[in-house]
């Protein structure tokens, strides 16, 4: 057997390492090439620059970038202040807040403009929230010099004409001056959107866009949220909330407060409404803090009408704030401790209005307008038969109930109403146009304080009081009414102007001899022509200004005897009405109001290029016609003052305010004036007003069978005596010869008035009613006041007996 050869073991650590001999380098390999040098130098420079930038960011600008990081991680949150409640005098809630879902977008957090992702988010919200298309104008895109043409074309395509078009264009121009990014013209239906899209090339700057795009485009602070829709249905809000991770820039909040109006449409003109704030209001100096900071954000609401607007400062409250930490998706992870400042709720406002009486007044007014429309239909049939144009069908009116002892407004109704809740939930273009339509009554106008009417014969009681106080009229003064008078021209006695006593003319029976009591009760125009027109002898005239009687029974002018005027005169009348009574000036109520006008010679000269005052002007004023205009509230204020002996108290709608801490501020009676007229003269006029209602000859006594005077108290134990005055005030175009071709008088359409106070001996309520184009006040307005007074005394009687109707009275 052969012997195996052993292989010696040589551990690796004991092996000798051989040194490698360097390879021989060629001379050209000992140096870098120029190209390689530049390349390597560039790499070193880039990394050097990056290192330097990193050093600057981490050392020199560390505070700046830490602040930016905190801004992305920590955000300020504004806590909305609950808006104050609005209550009626019995504690019923008229306006309150309800917690609801709200969807908002933060423009800065939306995907980039023009990207499919952004469009997907917008389309999702439009579909989920059923957002409408709107017509908007971007002023910056309208070519210079073409603004007027573009605006006029838009108005024309919307069907606006005349005054409506002019008002719309003025509004758009004002918004352009305010610097808005987009002007919201109107919402559009499918057909309207298609029509304007087709005309885009002819209307530069005019766009059809969805509601969300308009709101995003109008944003002036991209980091602040803008409200897309409030009071979102719960199921829709939860669906959006569940997909919030896929809707960057969208916020869904269940703590939003939505304004709810519970008083019904009859309260719309008093309570008003809130609406999203606009640019003009946002930067209004009145809406800034003393330090110049804005009180409102772009997603806030602000009172736009009624008490909501008038008491905005008290109702809005004070916002709170806090800081929150959010994750990369914008979801809140925690509230930073010690940073929260709570919001302070706005004041709760209690009104003088009784909601139950307000509804009764609204029902009575609606019934009166309907009755007037039925009567006008018959009149128009007669006019058509005579070849005359038809008159307006009554569709509007107003009524005010005022406590003359304190100035409290017990009820104030303007018809037609509007639904103020629609301004919160969404007002369609169709509904907006309906509310604005003059043929349907212009619902947004508060006729009680923002519409002017000639007072007609209701003015006679104030003229009588003035003349009695000056001594130009006494209880012994008697004038003869034959049905009309003719005032001849000074330069031609064969010609002149005729002035009818319309009550006598319509009845076909002249009043004959009348004193101040019967003149008020029977509303004799001829009597008050004499009371008003002063003794005047024109220059170069042989006789003073006089008149002939027109004998209604004989159907001819009596020229064998004439009568010189010897009344109070326009200067004294104007001074008393403007400074003693309360005509032609504001009443001081909390809401915006128009002042009306009591014309005088100075006013006419200024208005009509120096034209002089005429006898005819004084005659027109004496029966509440001509340029003389009042509001229903002014008439109620003056009627109440006359009834209680001459004291004026500022009309007010607010009874008290209570702040968040429970501190109550009472709004008591505020005396603003007193009639400088002796009580004996006021008593004469008051007796005349009693006769208007309670004597068979009084114009309000029969009222076409619609009323049943006298009233009785709720127990039926005693009469409630009323003092009042009817009025029929002409307006509109004249129909020459309508009444009588020989008399050559003119006939015009008429408003129907009635003003009154009760009880007659101790007044606690004054009521003024006007029905536009309603005809005769005695026929249509007196029944309205009748129902209102009955409702008032029934309710006050129940309260005295402790049987007030059940109400939703909640703690303030």
pLDDT at 554: 80
Range of 25-34, 159-168, 655-664 with top mean pLDDT: 655-664
Of 289-298, 530-539, 631-640, the poorest mean pLDDT is in 289-298
pLDDT at 812: 27
Q: What element of type H or E holds 310?
A: helix 306-310
Nearest to 634 by CA among 619, 618, 650, 647: 650
Mean pLDDT of 116-123: 93
| Residue bearing the bigger pLDDT, 616 or 76 | 616
Q: How many CB atoms lie within 10 A of CB 612?
A: 9
The answer to whether residue 72 scores a pLDDT higher than 70 is no
Nearest to 524 by CA among 698, 406, 648, 399: 698
Range of 131-135, 396-400, 714-718 with top mean pLDDT: 396-400
pTM: predicted TM-score of the whole model, two decimal places: 0.82
Of 144-148, 429-433, 485-489, 624-628, the poorest mean pLDDT is in 429-433
Would strands 133-137 and 93-106 be described as parallel, antiparallel, or unpaired? unpaired
Check: CB of residue 590 under 8 Å from CB of residue 311: yes
| Residue bearing the bigger pLDDT, 728 or 441 | 728
pLDDT at 281: 81
Query: Can you read off the two tokens belonging to residue 772?
Result: 């536009």
How much of the chain, in percent, has pLDDT values that exceed 90?
Answer: 55
Per-residue pLDDT band at 41 (split at 50, 70, 90): confident
pLDDT at 332: 67
The answer to whether residue 486 scores a pLDDT higher than 70 is yes
Of 52-56, 272-276, 354-358, the poorest mean pLDDT is in 52-56
pLDDT at 736: 54
Does residue 466 sit in helix, strand or coil? helix
Nearest to 402 by CA among 758, 5, 794: 758
The answer to whether residue 325 scores a pLDDT higher than 70 is yes
Mean pLDDT of 367-373: 95
The answer to whether residue 743 scores a pLDDT higher than 60 is no
How many residues does the structure list for the chain?
A: 812
Query: Can you read off the two tokens belonging to residue 675?
Result: 């009639």
Of 551-555, 668-672, 802-806, the poorest mean pLDDT is in 802-806
**How far are the Cα atoms of 363, 693, 709, 777 from residue 783, in angstroms, in the given order?**
12, 12, 10, 9
pLDDT at 705: 45
Burial of 302 (0-12, 13-18, 19+ CB in 10 A): buried
Does residue 418 sit in helix, strand or coil? coil
Cα(376)–Cα(773) distance, rounded to whole angstroms? Answer: 9
- What average pLDDT is seen over the chain? 86
Per-residue pLDDT band at 13 (split at 50, 70, 90): low
Per-residue pLDDT band at 811 (split at 50, 70, 90): very low
Check: CB of residue 396 under 8 Å from CB of residue 632: no
Q: What element of type H or E holds 68?
A: helix 62-73
pLDDT at 765: 97
The answer to whether residue 378 scores a pLDDT higher than 70 is yes
Q: Measured between alpha carbons, how far apart are the two ends of the chain, in Å? A: 123
Check: CB of residue 142 under 8 Å from CB of residue 175: no
pLDDT at 737: 46
Check: CB of residue 759 under 8 Å from CB of residue 720: yes
Nearest to 432 by CA among 161, 227, 185: 185
Q: What element of type H or E holds 305?
A: strand 301-305
Per-residue pLDDT band at 540 (split at 50, 70, 90): confident
Kindly provide the residue ranges of all beta strands, DSSP E only, lying in 661-804, ordered along the sequence.
Answer: 664-666, 671-674, 711-712, 719-720, 723-736, 746-758, 765-771
Mean pLDDT of 732-748: 60
Would strands 301-305 and 320-326 be described as parallel, antiparallel, or unpaired? unpaired
Would strands 86-87 and 348-351 be described as parallel, antiparallel, or unpaired? parallel
Mean pLDDT of 770-783: 94
Per-residue pLDDT band at 38 (split at 50, 70, 90): confident
Does residue 80 sit in helix, strand or coil? coil
Check: CB of residue 501 under 8 Å from CB of residue 481: yes
Encode pLDDT of 423-474 as tens digits: 988 787 778 888 988 888 899 999 999 999 999 999 999 999 999 999 999 9
Query: Can you read off the two tokens belonging to residue 319?
Result: 């916002």
Per-residue pLDDT band at 136 (split at 50, 70, 90): very high
Cα(618)–Cα(630) distance, rounded to whole angstroms? Answer: 17
The answer to whether residue 279 scores a pLDDT higher than 80 is no
Query: Can you read off the two tokens belonging to residue 667?
Result: 């709004």
**For residue 657, is the peptide bond before it cis, meaning its omega torsion is within 30 degrees of 0?**
no
Query: Can you read off the two tokens belonging to residue 712?
Result: 């009785």
- Which residues contact residue 68 at a Cβ distance below 8 angstroms, ignoring those fewer than 6 apart? none
The answer to whether residue 139 scores a pLDDT higher than 60 is yes
The answer to whether residue 414 scores a pLDDT higher than 80 is yes
Cα(533)–Cα(619) distance, rounded to whole angstroms? Answer: 7
Strand order in the sheet with 492-500: 492-500, 483-489, 546-551, 556-564
Encode pLDDT of 660-700 as tens digits: 998 999 999 999 999 999 999 999 999 999 999 999 999 99
Encode pLDDT of 160-219 as tens digits: 888 888 888 988 888 888 778 888 888 888 888 999 999 988 899 999 999 899 888 887
């Amino acid at each position: 057997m052969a012997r195996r050869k052993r292989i010696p073991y040589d551990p690796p650590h004991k092996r000798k390492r051989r040194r490698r001999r360097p390879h021989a380098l060629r001379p050209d390999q000992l140096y870098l090439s120029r190209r390689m040098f530049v390349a390597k130098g560039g790499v070193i420079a880039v990394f050097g620059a990056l290192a330097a930038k990193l050093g600057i960011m981490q050392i020199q600008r560390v505070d700046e970038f830490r602040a930016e990081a905190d801004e992305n991680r920590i955000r300020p949150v504004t806590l909305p202040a609950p808006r104050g409640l609005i209550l009626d005098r019995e504690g019923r809630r008229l306006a309150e807040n309800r917690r609801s879902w709200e969807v908002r977008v933060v423009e800065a957090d939306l995907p980039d403009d023009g990207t499919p992702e952004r469009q997907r988010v917008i389309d999702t919200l439009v579909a989920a929230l059923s957002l409408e298309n709107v017509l908007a104008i971007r002023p910056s895109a309208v070519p210079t010099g073409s603004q007027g043409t573009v605006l006029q074309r838009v108005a024309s395509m919307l069907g606006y004409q005349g005054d409506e078009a002019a008002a719309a264009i003025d509004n758009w121009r004002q918004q352009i001056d305010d610097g808005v990014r987009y002007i919201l013209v109107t919402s559009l239906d499918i057909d309207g959107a298609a029509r304007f899209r087709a005309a885009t090339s002819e209307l530069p700057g005019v766009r059809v866009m969805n509601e969300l795009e308009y709101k995003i485009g109008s944003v002036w602070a991209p980091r602040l949220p803008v409200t897309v829709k409030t009071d979102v249905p719960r199921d829709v809000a939860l669906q959006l909330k569940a997909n919030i991770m896929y809707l960057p820039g969208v916020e869904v909040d269940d703590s939003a407060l939505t304004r709810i109006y519970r008083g019904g449409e009859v309260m719309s003109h008093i309570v008003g409404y809130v609406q999203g704030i606009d640019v003009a209001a946002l930067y209004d100096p009145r809406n800034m803090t003393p330090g110049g900071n804005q009180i409102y954000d772009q997603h806030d609401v602000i009172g736009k009408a009624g008490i909501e607007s008038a008491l905005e400062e008290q109702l809005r409250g004070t916002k709170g704030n806090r800081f929150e930490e959010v994750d990369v998706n914008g979801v809140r992870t925690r509230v930073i401790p010690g940073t929260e400042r709570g919001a302070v709720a706005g004041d709760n406002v209690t009104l003088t209005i009784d909601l139950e009486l307000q509804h009764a007044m609204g029902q009575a007014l609606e019934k009166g307008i309907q009755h007037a429309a039925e009567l006008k239909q018959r009149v128009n049939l007669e006019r058509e038969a005579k070849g005359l144009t038809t008159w307006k069908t009554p569709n509007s009116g107003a009524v005010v109930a005022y406590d003359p002892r304190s100035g409290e407004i017990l009820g104030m109704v303007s018809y037609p109403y509007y639904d103020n809740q629609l301004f919160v939930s969404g007002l369609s273009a169709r509904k907006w146009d309906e509310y604005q339509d003059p043929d349907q009554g212009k619902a947004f106008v508060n006729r009680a304080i923002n519409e002017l009417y000639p007072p007609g014969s209701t003015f006679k009681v104030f003229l009588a009081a003035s003349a009695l106080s000056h001594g130009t009229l006494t209880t012994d003064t008697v004038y003869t009414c034959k049905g009309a008078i003719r005032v001849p021209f000074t330069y031609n006695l064969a010609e002149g102007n005729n002035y009818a006593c319309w009550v006598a003319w319509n009845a076909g029976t002249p009043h004959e001899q009348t004193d101040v009591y019967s003149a008020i009760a029977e509303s004799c125009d001829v009597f008050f022509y004499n009371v008003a027109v002063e003794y005047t002898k024109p220059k170069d005239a042989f006789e003073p200004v006089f008149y002939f009687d027109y004998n209604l029974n004989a159907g001819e002018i009596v020229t064998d005897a004439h009568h010189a005027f010897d009344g109070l005169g326009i200067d004294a009348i104007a001074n008393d009405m403007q400074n003693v009574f309360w005509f032609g000036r504001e009443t001081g109520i909390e809401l915006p109001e128009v002042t009306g006008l009591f014309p005088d010679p100075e006013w006419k000269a200024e208005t009509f290029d120096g034209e002089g005052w005429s006898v005819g002007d004084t005659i027109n004023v004496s029966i509440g016609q001509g340029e003389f205009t009042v509001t229903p509230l002014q008439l109620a204020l003056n009627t109440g003052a006359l009834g209680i002996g001459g004291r004026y108290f500022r009309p007010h709608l607010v009874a008290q305010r209570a702040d968040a801490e429970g501190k109550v501020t009472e709004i008591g009676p505020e005396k603003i004036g007193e009639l400088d007229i002796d009580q004996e003269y006021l008593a004469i006029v008051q007796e005349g007003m009693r006769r208007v209602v309670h004597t068979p000859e009084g114009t309000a006594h029969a009222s076409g069978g619609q009323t049943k005077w006298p009233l009785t108290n709720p127990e039926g134990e005693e009469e409630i005596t009323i003092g009042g005055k009817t009025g029929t005030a002409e307006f509109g175009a004249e129909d020459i010869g309508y009444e009588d071709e020989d008399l050559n008088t003119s006939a015009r359409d008429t408003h129907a008035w009635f003003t009154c106070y009760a009880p007659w001996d101790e007044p606690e309520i004054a009521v003024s009613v006007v029905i536009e184009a309603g005809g005769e006040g005695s026929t249509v307005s007196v029944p309205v006041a009748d129902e209102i007074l009955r409702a008032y005394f029934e309710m006050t009687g129940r309260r005295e007996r402790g049987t007030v109707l059940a109400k939703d009275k909640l703690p303030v």
